[in-house]
Structures are given as C-alpha cells and as structure tokens.
Amino acid sequence: MKDNILIQNALDIIDNRITGVISPQELAKASGYSTFHFSRLFSRATRITLAAYITRRKLQYALYDVSCGEKIIDVAVKYGFETHAGFTKAFKKCFGYPPSIYRIHAICSRPTRMELNELLSIVSGGKIMYPEIVEMKPITVVGFTSRHKMPDVRFTHDIPLYWDTINLDYADGLTRLHNLFNKSRHCEITICFDIDPSASEFTYLLGVGVDNPDDLAKIEKDMYQMKIAGGLYAKFTTPRVASAKYSQTVRETWKSIFDNWLPASKYRFDETRYDFEYYDERDHAWENNDTNQMDIYVPIKKRK
C-alpha cells in the first residue's frame, strides 16, 4: 500500500510538471528511495519503465495539443523535444503512427489525472477492439474531391456524417456515380489525402469502388480516379447501432484504433498507403431497421 502511494505521488508530480524537465532522480528523492530502487519499484508495479512512462505521458499531453491545432514543431519544443524529427520519431515509436495522422482522425480529450489502476489498464492494452487482419488487393475509387482546412473541419470522418454543417453536399454526385458504374459492386469509399500539416489542409475524396472493366471505361472528365494500394490492412467493423448513435460510434471506433489498438499492437501505421472508410449495404438504414454499420481500413506493417 505504501509503495502504491509513492508511485501515485510520482504520477502526480509528472502531470504537474509535464512541460518541464522531469528526472528519475527527482522522483526517487520525493519517494525517499534511491534512484535505482525507485525505478525498479515503479517498473514492477506499472509494467513500464519510469523513463518510458515520462516520455509516454509527455506525448499524451502533446497529442492533445496537436489535436487542438497547435503546430507540431511548437508542441515538440513545449514538451522538451529538441527537434520536430525527434518528436515525431518518439511519437511513432510510442504510438505506432505519426502525430499528423491522429489529428485528422480522432477526437482527443485533455489528459486527466493518471491513476495507478488506469495506468495498468493502459499498458496492458485497455479495452481494445480487435480487427480482422486482411491482405487486400488494389481498389480503384472514382468520385469527387474537395479541399478542406482544419480546424474548420476538425476530423475527416466528420465530413460524410455532417455534410450539411459544412455545406458539402454529395447526394447528387453519389447518385450519378452509382447510376453510371452500375456493373460494379455497390460500395462507397471515403479517403483523406494530400495532407499539408503546415497549412492544416487536406483533400477529401468521396467515391465509389469500380471493379468492372466496362465501368472503368465510363469515367468522366470531372471525376477523380484513385487506386488504393493493396497490402496488409487492419479492418475494423463498427458495431451495428441505431442511426441516431451512428456518428458517435464511428468516432469512438477511430479513437479506439489510435488510442488503444495501434499503440499496443505488433503493427504500426504504414504511411506509404491511405486509410479509408468503406460503406456498403450495411450502411443503408432503410434496409436494416434504422441501423447502420461500416468498416475502417488502416494500412499496417509489422513493427521492427
């Protein structure tokens, strides 16, 4: 019990001085133990080294600042990382993806006081949604693009769910696409690409999958064509929920991927390919008793 109190005190000190220099020696002194003994005590109780936890906690706070629109270089300096590259490298090693990817995909809340029991849950994986790992063939997507700027549009997955709020109306475009490419399997695919972190801008594509040769010959001049690279993907399927809860469920799935699954998995985000959302007949509420479901595909490769 005494040791747990000392460790909780150390967790509080780290949070209170998160933007400053936090040394193991200082934390050990506050506990009344030697640096060696306290470091062993901390690792045994939390299953993570003291130095690794300090870095991880700084990155968690930095994640929130990045998600709120602060420039990555400013955030890096704020939390004691000497360079943009050093910050990004530490971030990717800890979480399995670069900070720019998180900013456009997940809603990050400001870190709250870290409790020892909560830390044990986090380092052991927490509540993880386990995906299907699939080897996917390339997919041709044809649709329409639009350019957006964050934080006016904070997250790319807001776009298909909130077209009305940002004056983005693709209803007629989707009807046109489905009518034109009527020999291909029915599905809609949304992709965020051409991300400019410095300007906080990205291009958004809403299109349909085109897998029939006859349909490929019908692509019109004002349509944008993209081929999604094949390879290894983590496929996350959202729970089937009532339409009123669909928006929140999509958000929570994205957040779970980046907060829980990627950091704890043996994979990391493959930045050479795009993640995407996949909608098919399961998304048709009128055919499914006013419920919806969709898939999120995340490109992955094994960690070294």
3-state SS assignment for residue 241:
strand
Q: Which helix (H) or strand (E) holds 58?
A: helix 50-67
Kind and range of the H or E run holding 228? strand 224-228
Closest residue by Cα to residue 208 from 228, 238, 231, 235: 228
- Domain spans in the chain, listed from the N-terminal domain onward: 2-95, 132-302
Q: Distance between CA 149 and CA 137 in Å, rounded?
A: 31
Indicate the pairing of strand 201-209 with strand 188-196: antiparallel
Report pTM. Answer: 0.74
- 289 contact partners, CB below 8 Å, separation of at least 6: none
* 51 φ, ψ (degrees, to nearest 5): -65, -40
Q: The domain at 2-95 falls in which architecture? A: Orthogonal Bundle (1.10)
132-302: CATH topology is: Multidrug-efflux Transporter 1 Regulator Bmrr; Chain A (3.20.80)
**One pLDDT digit (tens) per residue for the chain, 304 residues:** 677 888 899 999 999 999 998 988 999 888 888 999 999 989 888 888 999 899 989 998 998 888 777 888 899 999 998 888 889 888 888 888 888 777 666 666 788 888 877 776 666 555 567 899 999 999 999 999 888 776 554 444 444 443 434 445 667 888 899 999 999 999 999 888 887 766 777 788 889 999 999 999 999 999 999 999 999 999 999 989 998 888 888 878 888 888 788 888 889 999 899 999 999 999 988 899 999 999 999 999 998 7
How many angstroms separate the CA atoms of 230 and 157, rounded? 22
